[in-house]
């Protein structure tokens, strides 16, 4: 567990709990439930409980934690917080209350430990934050103008082996290579910012100029893949019910055909929108490389990998006239501003999701040979 990352997570979770008023509203709901049980003839307690719960559910639906980077998922699980924030907590509360509409004492019994844990969490997070501040430990924040790409590699994908992990990191580098060239016109090797375990979390330094192309491509691949999630779940149910694999082969083939076409469209659009290289011949080669990268990316999303992109906008610069007190206007790079806005929007869409059933994509196998990078 990286200490700077832990500091960043602690700050973000503490802010999330405060912004959503989770402890305050959950305490009000818990207290109103208790009053309802002890004085069922008093209707105001039911009203108070309903109002507190409604407000809490509304706050949790828009909680900042719903957009936490996927690379934080293993750390949140280690800290026991993965189901105590945002949408996950909201769904848990809805399940408890819908199941116990009549047996209020049971609902109270399930709500109380959640409330107590959140209280203890908030207190201990503040202790961690204070300790980090005392020892001057940073919080893994990006400097203005910096960007990063994080990838969560499931342990089962590399069987916890060092050689397998090294090989997989090489594959990830090959996936990112075309996007580096699209944004910069060159292809330097991405540099590791940090790496941690549980599921392996790899964070790479990036430039916004090429992170934006990857962010857009990953967002569109994930959106396309989501349209097949119901098929994946139905396939699992059919397999669990004893249906042999042979009748499902046609479904698998159709699904891979559909996803292959979508990936091809995405690759063409990304090169058209973001490629810095003006040479049409090289752009065609890049289009082929991006398509191959996106096939690999789609297969990994199907195998429960997660990808995250984030960037911190540069600090605004001022003209000399403004510095001299003459009211000069801010110097704004509109292209850079647009890049950061796109990365922020796409980053919110790249949320971790737990998938049910076996992987269904085999897009990498469909490419006869890996394209060269033109070097």
Q: Which pLDDT value is given to residue 353?
A: 65
Q: Which pLDDT value is given to residue 347?
A: 79
Q: Which pLDDT value is given to residue 87?
A: 93
Q: Which pLDDT value is given to residue 330?
A: 46
pTM: 0.76
State how far the Cα of 160 lies from the Cα of 155, in Å rounded to an integer: 5
First to last CA, the chain: 38
Average pLDDT over residues 163-178: 95
Q: Which pLDDT value is given to residue 325?
A: 47
What confidence tier does 318 reach under pLDDT thresholds 50, 70, 90? low
> What is the per-residue pLDDT across 48-82, written as a single tens digit (0 to 9) for each?
999 999 999 999 999 999 888 777 877 888 888 88
Assess whether pLDDT exceeds 90 at residue 358: no
Q: Which pLDDT value is given to residue 356?
A: 76
> What is the per-residue pLDDT across 216-244, written as a single tens digit (0 to 9) for each?
999 999 999 988 888 888 888 888 888 88
What confidence tier does 354 reach under pLDDT thresholds 50, 70, 90? low
**Sheet arrangement for strand 192-196:** 192-196, 200-206, 147-153, 306-311
Gyration radius of the chain's alpha carbons = 24
207 neighbors 183 (Cβ within 8 angstroms): yes
């Amino acid at each position: 567990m990286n200490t700077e990352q832990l500091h960043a997570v602690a700050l973000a979770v503490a802010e999330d709990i405060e912004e959503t008023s989770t402890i305050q509203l959950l305490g009000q709901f818990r207290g109103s439930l208790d009053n309802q049980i002890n004085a069922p003839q008093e209707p105001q307690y039911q009203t108070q409980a309903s109002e507190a719960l409604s407000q809490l559910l509304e706050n949790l639906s828009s909680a900042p934690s719903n957009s936490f980077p996927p690379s934080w998922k293993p750390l949140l699980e280690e800290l026991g917080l993965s189901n105590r924030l945002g949408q996950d907590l909201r769904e848990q509360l809805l399940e408890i209350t819908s199941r116990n509409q009549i047996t209020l004492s049971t609902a109270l019994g399930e709500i109380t430990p959640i409330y107590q844990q959140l209280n203890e969490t908030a207190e201990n997070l503040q202790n961690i934050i204070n300790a980090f501040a005392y020892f001057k430990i940073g919080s893994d924040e990006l400097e203005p103008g910096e960007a990063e790409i994080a990838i969560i590699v499931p342990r089962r994908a590399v069987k916890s082996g060092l050689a397998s992990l090294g090989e997989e990191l090489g594959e990830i580098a090959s996936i990112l290579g075309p996007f580096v060239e699209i944004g910069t016109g060159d292809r330097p090797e991405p540099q590791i910012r940090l790496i941690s375990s549980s599921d392996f979390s790899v964070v790479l330094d990036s430039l916004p100029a090429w992170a934006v192309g990857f962010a857009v491509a990953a967002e569109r691949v994930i959106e396309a893949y989501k349209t097949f999630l119901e098929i994946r779940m139905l396939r699992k149910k059919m397999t669990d019910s004893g249906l042999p694999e042979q009748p499902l082969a046609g479904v698998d083939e159709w699904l891979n055909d559909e996803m292959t076409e979508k990936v091809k469209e995405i690759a063409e659009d990304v090169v058209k929108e973001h490629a810095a290289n003006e040479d049409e011949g090289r752009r065609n080669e890049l289009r082929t490389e991006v398509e191959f990268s996106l096939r690999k990316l789609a297969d990994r999303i199907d195998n429960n990998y997660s990808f995250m992109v984030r960037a911190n906008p540069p600090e605004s610069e001022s003209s000399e006239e403004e510095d001299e007190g003459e009211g000069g206007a801010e110097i704004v790079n509109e292209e850079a501003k647009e890049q950061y806005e796109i990365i922020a929007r796409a980053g919110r869409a790249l949320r971790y999701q737990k998938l049910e059933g076996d992987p269904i994509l085999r897009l990498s196998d469909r490419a006869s040979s890996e394209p060269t990078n033109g070097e």
